[in-house]
Structure formats: structure tokens, C-alpha cells
Amino acid sequence: MKQKAEPVTPCAAEYECIVHTSPSFLQMKALWRRMPGGAVSTPFQTPGFLSAFQTHLGADVDGYFAIYEFRCHAERLPKILLPVFVRRRGPVRIASMPDLGMADMSGPILARSDKLTPDAVQGIWKLFLETLTGVDVLDIYNIPETIAGLENPLVYISNAEPLEPYFELDLLDPKLVTVWRKKSVFKEATRKLRKLRERGVDFFVAETLEDRLLVCSKLISQKKARFAASGLENNLSSRVVADFYQELAAIKAPDSPAIIFGLRDENEIVASAMTLSVEGCMNGVLLSIAGEEWHRLSPGVVLLTAIIDWAQQNDFKTLNFGTGLQSYKTRFGGDMRQTYLISQGITPVGHAYCHVRPFIRTIKQLPRRK
């Protein structure tokens, strides 16, 4: 019997690259809408996140932002989009995805109805490098293996190297849910939530613009205070970083990927968190708790379990706690997911920089003489 022919993805030679320099929020939304079958991305490559990044973080370091669109000559529709941010570090011009430490995941924007073959991805990547000008080094960190359930084509790139893993909870598979729900942290959180409710504290989702801005501001101030008390560095002490998160809180749903949660009584926000979500996938970003008088009731743990419950009730597929394997994350279980790094020199200056960078990092970590 004659087999039905499968759709064939055009080879890379049939693609062209269009560079959209400093696109506005509305221009990005229009470009995303043109993706065949709809656009698929991580929460950190949505128009809302990229717009806030461009307005606050990108402008602060005097970098420039562009979207690289790859489309088929025949169809004239975008198949894959790559957001790129270029900044200087001394004499070296470094290109990356818009990150600056704010993005837990880096990936392209995919067309839901088109799956690119590994060969096509390699060819498009070659076209991308040929189009990328005025850059010495390319660094892309935190590349996940999947994007909202679709394979991340950047993992196909030959020089992609394993980086830091993260934990992810599957919220849909009953067998997997049963496994992580047995963790003792959920019983502990139920007991502590009961005690918090006895003191008038309860869980909430910030819905109105006023509430979102208020809770985000309180979250930032609480984290500043806690880091200051411990003597640790905190990027939220930077005005532009705080403004970036406030911008995410200010953008109206569904344009903003930010969902803001908290625990509060009549007078005080006891704990709060910001998550970024898209395509039913939720990523934890910021978490803060109030003063020491609340610590024995573990409001951070209680809030995290309440967010997990809420995400399940609202049909989210996955929830992860961001990069890193901190002990509080391991308490909730879940599956370990790998991320990857692409780092390569583009010019002779870039190759030299990549060669000496590990030595520079080692020197910076050495103890200083007093």
C-alpha cells in the first residue's frame, strides 16, 4: 500500500533572515501573531518580557536589541524567531538572548505547526551567524530541552554544552503527581497554613493593577531587606532591575507573563511571589517573606505549595522553580531537567576572549589580601 507522504520542512537554503531592530511591543505582538499555528516560547521570550527588558535593562547597559526572523522564501511566513541582545564588555561585543541574569530560560520563538529538522536547524543557525554582524562573542545560557512541550531546536546546535539543571513538577500526569505529592513538605505546609489562617492570613492572587503593583513593590522591598540583613548581594538593589519587574507587573494580562501571588492579613503581606507563565507552563521568578516574627510558620513554603495547588486547579501543565538545585527546591520533588549553553567566538577578538575568560573567572574567585 502506498504510504502517505509526510510534510517536508524546506531546507535551510530556502530560508531568508530579516532583522527587526529595536521592535516595539506592538510590532513584536504582530510578528508573533504571524507564526503559523501560533507562537510558542518560554515566558522569558514573550513580547511582554522582551519589551520590559528593552525599556529598562537594555537601555541601562547601552546595548541594542533585535529580533532575527527566519522565513521560507516561498511562504513568506516566519518559521522561527531569535531575540538577540548585544552589549559591550570592555572592548568585546557580546551577543546573547535578552538575559542579563533575568531569564531562567533561553529559546527561540517557534511556529506551532512547523517542526524543523535537525539539518534545517543547523542550516538556519549557519545563516544566523552569517547575518550576525558587529559581534565578537555569542553566549546563550539556560537553553532548556523543550519549549512548552516542543523540542528546543537550539539543543541541536553542535556546540551546545550541558549547563545547570532545574527541577520541574509535572502537574498533569496522575502517576507523577502522586509521587511528588507524597513529599513531607506538603503535609508541613498544610499544618502551617492552618496556623496562619488562625492569625487571619490567607492566600491570594493579585488581580487588579493597583494590587499587582503594590505586591510587587512589597516583594522587592522585602527581598532587599532580607539580603541586606544577611550581607548578600541582591540585584534588586539596582533601580533598573526593580523597575523591570514593576513593568512586568504593570502590563495588563494577557500581555504580561507575570502572575503575582501572596499571603496576607488585614495589615501585612506575609509572603509574596512572582511567576512567569505561558502555554500552561509556570516558572518561579521571585519569592519573599516578611520579618522574622513570621519565619517559624514557614510562609515561603506555604506560599509555594499554595501556588502549586492553584496551578493545578487552573490546568497548568508544569511548574519549575528556576535554575539551580537549592535545597528548598529539592523538597518538592519533581523531575530534573537539563539546560545547555552555546558559547563561541565570532571574530579573532572573540576567540581570544573565550580563551582567556575561564582564567579571568578563576582570578576573580581568588581571595583578596587584606
**pLDDT tens column, 73-118:** 777 889 999 999 999 988 999 999 999 889 999 999 999 988 888 8
- Determine the average pLDDT of the residues in 175-193: 95
pLDDT at 359 over 80: no
pLDDT at 6 over 50: no
**Strand runs (DSSP E) across 38-145, as ranges?**
39-40, 64-72, 78-89, 92-96, 109-111, 137-144
pLDDT at 222 over 70: yes
pLDDT at 195 over 90: yes
Q: Give residue-wise pLDDT tens across range 24-44.
A: 999 999 999 999 999 999 999
- Read off the pLDDT band of 5 (50, 70, 90): very low
- Please report the pLDDT score of residue 366 as a whole number: 61
- Please report the pLDDT score of residue 224 as a whole number: 85
Would you list the domain boundaries of the chain?
Answer: 12-163+338-365, 168-336
pLDDT at 7 over 50: no
Q: 12-163+338-365 and 168-336 share one CATH topology?
A: yes
Q: How far apart are CA 175 and CA 164, in angstroms?
A: 26
- Please report the pLDDT score of residue 4 as a whole number: 37
- HSE toward the beta carbon, residue 222, CA cutoff 13 A: 22
- Read off the pLDDT band of 229 (50, 70, 90): confident
Residue entry with cell 581568588 = 366
- Please report the pLDDT score of residue 250 as a whole number: 95
Task: Select the CATH number that applies to the domain covering 12-163+338-365 from these four: 3.40.630, 1.20.950, 3.40.50, 3.30.530.
Answer: 3.40.630
What burial class does residue 210 get, using C-beta atoms within 10 Å of its C-beta: 0-12 exposed, 13-18 middle, 19+ buried?
exposed
Residue 264 parent element (H or E): strand 258-264
- HSE toward the beta carbon, residue 185, CA cutoff 13 A: 22
Contacts of 158 (CB under 8 A, 6+ apart): 122
- Please report the pLDDT score of residue 169 as a whole number: 95
- In this structure, of 106-120, 181-195, 206-220, the range with the lowest mean pLDDT score is 106-120
pLDDT at 358 over 80: no
Q: What is the pTM (predicted TM-score) of this model?
A: 0.90
For residues 185 and 369, the model is more confident at: 185
User: What architecture is the 168-336 domain classified under in CATH?
Assistant: 3-Layer(aba) Sandwich (3.40)
- Please report the pLDDT score of residue 54 as a whole number: 94
Q: In degrees rounded to 5, what are phi and psi of residue 353?
A: -60, -45
- Please report the pLDDT score of residue 258 as a whole number: 96
Q: In degrees rounded to 5, what are phi and psi of residue 277?
A: -140, 145
For residues 13 and 95, the model is more confident at: 95
Percent of the chain with pLDDT over 90: 69
